[in-house]
Structure 1
């Protein structure tokens, strides 16, 4: 997986997890709120129904109260009281029922077949002893009881809320009730409405999460496109800089070979031709040829020195023969010979063997840094420090020049190519590159980690192999 994809995933994944957490929390809270609302509505509904039933029972008590208070307990008086209670109905399912305290039904306007039956042990579909529960509530001074009973209008078993009181003078229990199937239907509609609202809320959260993820993905895509364009632009500039550097190096070599080596070789050729002509004209006067041949030898020495100089500029031989520190000292001497810049090279730590790639990278960084100081810094002194630390090899170049704006230089696509090249050169070796600049000067630090023994061994083997096949 590419780095950009990982970054995009790291941006999208927490957002998705956060939205999922929000959705679960909202769903939990909404469900809890719906349950709480259900309980509140049910409690309020039952309380209002209980109050209504209590009033009905009080009405029934007041109807038969004169007969009970009369003190008569004969069958005719009780029959008159039953008839009065039977007439007190309120709708198709609103009626009063009457039992004695032993569970025998005395009056039931809607189910006359129950009259006279002993229902003490009768159980509802859920197994509850209905009549015993009613008598127990009545014996405690009256109260409400929830139970299941057949609804007269529909002939279906339905939940019912009954309210009963005892009439101890006649050993009676009188009560009435309201069927709760309409209440439960209302509560079911309320729950269904809450479930729809929760589902709609979750859908909205899902839509918002999807839009947010798409926006993050689109932003990441736009950022990737922008980075791609910027990287392509930098790559093109780098490629152009590489081509320009190659052409400049070729032009420099061409000039040096033409102006130096070529001219010297032409001069040697002319001197040798002069000596040959003298020998041909006067073979016996060999003494006159000796000075000419000496001049040719001297010029050949000059040619050899010029070739060595060109080769040393391409890659210093000291870097392979004596190591990085000696090559840096030689570079500093050459830099001081052509300018008024004072360059000091110091060594910290115990020198150790570096791979060819590491030594070359640090040397080229020092070379580029000193060239930049000479051209742009207006500095008087440069301190180059090579530090063989326990964890890394560090090259530090510090000058007392005018400094520059590092951030602005790095953001400018037309400038700072050299610094980017140095940073990329160090990154290719697994190292780090840091630069800080201000009014007091510029400080450049290049750090390379310790090379594993295998790379050093392979580097040494390749160097020895090159020396073995090189002509002596």
Structure 2
């Protein structure tokens, strides 16, 4: 996977995952809350039905109380009167009272006339529940509720029914009434259906919001990626061209130095030794002086080569370290320009070799700028550490820069300018600061801790 694809994936995938998790959590929470509310609603409805059954049963018992209390166990006239009262106490289309004796014989059943006079103790509903036997058991216990399936009179289909059974122990009768629960379950089912619709609606809304958001982020990331890539390509082209220009300028400078310095000195050496050779062959007395002049010219050529080698890569930087290399650089600068340079190592953490090279090149370029532009009479180079971060400051007492454009256009040694110095620091994620006014210029290079090596140089005395 390419880097831009990785960046795009890192931008999109967390967003998609977050939206998915939020949607799932919201859906789960909404479903849980709704299920809890529906369950509470169903329980409240059942409690209301139970209260209603208890009140109806008490109403029926109150209606037959006088007759039942005055009659004895075998009073058939009283029993017949109670039958008539309970038969007439039906309520609504599906509300009625029923009576069975403790043996399971049906005594009163207003909605199903075929049941009285027959024994239904062994009757079971579609779920296998022994309906009459369980109702009689509840009556013998002093009264209670029992749920079962029974044919609903108004529709003729089996439905869930909740009944309350009470006992008339003197006559060994069970009296009961019940309500059908299909309306409760229908309301619950409607609520669940509404819940599903609400969840689907919420999911659609979240999808309509999240999908465009993801697409917007995707398009934005793609645009930023392509824009940054175009900018990076442009900067890379500029940097490549600047490197090529710098290389050509450096080659031209080396060619001039070799032609004007080393080459001329070597030609002088050749002529000196040719002259000495002719004088030796002729037996002239001043042949030794000609040879000495050739040797002096050869020493000058060697010195020129050493200076060029030192400018390209000072061995002292690798062998003795940054402080010694900067001191040598300052000495050569002072000898060449007459501007005194003081190097002050104030105790600093050891840097990586490439960081040492970057500081040396920055100092080299800064001194070249002082020589060409600053008209300074002294230069000060300080190196120290602050909280483990190495700093180098190069200050002079020259005329400074009057405009930012002057600083931006100032070229340092070998054609490398301020931007090249900043790029050297940016490579290590460091900072290059310039403070300038009419009293002089201070250039400060600030490295992060990541540029430090594992060992430290000895502290300066």
SS in 1 for 2:95: coil
In the other structure, the counterpart of 2:256 is 255
Instruction: Name 1:39's counterpart in structure 2.
Output: 39
Show CA shifts across 1:277-317 (max 9, x none).
x98xxx97956888777656654544443344333323335
Q: Deviations over 1:321-379 (max 9, x none)?
A: 76665433321212223253523154969999x97x67755643543454466668888
Q: TM-score, normalised by structure 1?
A: 0.71
Equivalent position of 2:458 in the other structure: none
Question: Would the alpha carbon gap of residues 397 and 103 (structure 1) be closer, same or farther in structure 2, given more than 3 Å must change?
Answer: same
Aligned-partner SS, 2:215:
helix
SS in 2 for 1:449: coil
Match of 1:108 in 2: 109
Corresponding position of 1:314: 312
Matched, 1:419 2:421: yes
Q: Is 2:326 the counterpart of 1:328?
A: yes
Change in CA separation of 1:372 and 1:189 when aligned onto 2, cut-off 3 Å:
farther
**Structure 2 residue 339 is matched with structure 1 residue 340:** yes
* Correspondence for 2:132: 131
Which runs of 5 or more residues in structure 2 are unaligned?
A: 409-415, 456-461
Q: How does 1:26-425 map to 2 (within 5 A)?
A: 26-54=26-54, 56-57=56-57, 60-61=60-61, 64-65=64-65, 67-68=67-68, 71=71, 74-90=75-91, 93-120=94-121, 122-135=123-136, 137-138=138-139, 144-168=145-169, 170-264=171-265, 286=284, 298-316=296-314, 318-319=316-317, 326-337=324-335, 338=337, 340-344=339-343, 346=345, 363-368=360-365, 370-371=367-368, 380-385=378-383, 396-400=391-395, 416-423=418-425
Match of 2:339, SS?
A: coil
Deviations 1:193-226 (Å, cap 9, x if unpaired)?
A: 2123223323433444444433443343333334
Classify the secondary structure of the residue corresponding to 2:135.
Answer: helix
Deviation at 1:118, TM superposition (A): 4.3
Any conservation in 2 of the 1:158–1:181 contact (CA below 8 Å)?
A: yes
Query: CA–CA distance in 1 between the matches of 2:199 and 2:275?
Result: 109
1:217-237, CA deviations, whole angstroms, 9 ceiling, x for partnerless residues?
334333333432332233223
| Cα RMSD, aligned residues only | 4.6
Contact 2:350/2:452 (8 A) holds in 1:
no
Give the whole-Å Cα distance in 1 for the aligned partners of 2:37 and 2:319. Answer: 90
Distance 1:376 1:38 in 2: 87
CA distance in 2, matches of 1:65, 1:398: 113
Structure 2 Cα separation of the partners of residues 320 and 49 of structure 1: 97
Residues 329 and 345, structure 1, Cα contact 8 Å, conserved in 2: no
1:437–1:311 CA distance, 2 compared to 1 (3 A)? closer
- Shift of the alpha carbon at 1:242? 0.9
Indicate if the aligned counterparts of 2:349 and 2:390 stay in contact, CA closer than 8 A.
Answer: no
Q: Report if the CA contact (8 A) 1:99-1:174 is conserved.
A: yes
Q: 1:449 aligns with which of 433, 438, 453?
A: 453
Deviations 1:137-164 (A, max 9, x none): 5456655432222334555432102234
Which 5+ residue runs of structure 1 have no aligned equivalent? Answer: 452-472
Residue correspondences, number: 429
The 2-side partners of 1:361 and 1:208 are apart by: 52
Counterpart position of 2:25: 25
Q: SS state of the match for residue 163, structure 1? A: strand
Conserved in 2, the CA contact under 8 Å of 1:60 and 1:88?
Answer: yes
CA separation of 1:240 and 1:95: change in aligned 2, threshold 3 A:
same
